[in-house]
Amino acid sequence: MTQKKVEHLLKAHQLRRTETRVEVLELFLEKDMALAQKDIEDELGTIDRITLYRTLRTFEDKGLIHRAIDGSEKLRFALCSHECNPVEGHFDEHAHFHCKVCEKTYCLEQIHTPSVRVPKGYQIESSHLVLKGICEHCS
């Protein structure tokens, strides 16, 4: 099941199948939360750091994963919705929830980042909705 999904995702995002790509993608599918490079290294053990770094950048470029900005120092990535693609880019305008108990970060896709009006002369390039508190697993 996961195997099929992985193959499909790689193909849909114009990516060649490599061992590392498959492993990393499987992990994202399985965990269903945002992962930092360190989390992936810990889970996969034998993975080469540079290869992993490149894999994450490639996935980001191709619209497979996005940065889950959660207000912490850690750079975490999460799986994208199917709308993201290599041509038009990312459409991940949703909230990210950081749990203070388990310190995990989750995408809350149903909560859209609100559009805001800024004073004249200001230009928004990105905006992030960060929510902090206790997640469903910890409450």
Decide whether 23 or 67 has the Cβ nearer to Zn ion: 67
Decide whether 110 or 115 has the Cβ nearer to Zn ion: 110
Token digits of residue 90: 């990312």
b or e along 51-63 (b: 16 or more beta carbons within 10 Å of the residue's beta carbon)? ebeebbebbbebb
Using CB under 5 A as the binding rule, whether residue 138 contacts Zn ion is answered as yes
> Cβ of residue 37: shortest distance to Zn ion, in angstroms?
16
Q: If you ran DSSP here, which 8-state letter would residue 81 be given?
A: P
Is 26 in a helix, a strand, or coil? helix
Q: For the beta carbon of residue 102, count every other beta carbon within 10 angstroms.
A: 13
Using CB under 5 A as the binding rule, whether residue 80 contacts Zn ion is answered as yes
Token digits of residue 64: 């497979």
Stretch that binds Zn ion, among 10-18, 21-29, 46-54, 75-83 (CB under 5 A): 75-83
Using CB under 5 A as the binding rule, whether residue 95 contacts Zn ion is answered as no
Query: 33 CB contacts (<8 Å, ≥6 apart)?
Result: 78, 104, 105, 106, 107
Using CB under 5 A as the binding rule, whether residue 135 contacts Zn ion is answered as yes
Between CA 45 and CA 59 the distance in angstroms is 20
Stretch that binds Zn ion, among 3-11, 25-33, 48-56, 91-99 (CB under 5 A): 91-99
Stretch that binds Zn ion, among 16-24, 64-72, 110-118, 125-133 (CB under 5 A): 64-72
Token digits of residue 91: 């459409």
Decide whether 26 or 93 has the Cβ nearer to Zn ion: 93
Summarize as ranges the residues that interact with Zn ion (CB under 5 A): 66, 68, 78, 80, 84, 90, 92, 99, 101-102, 107, 135, 138
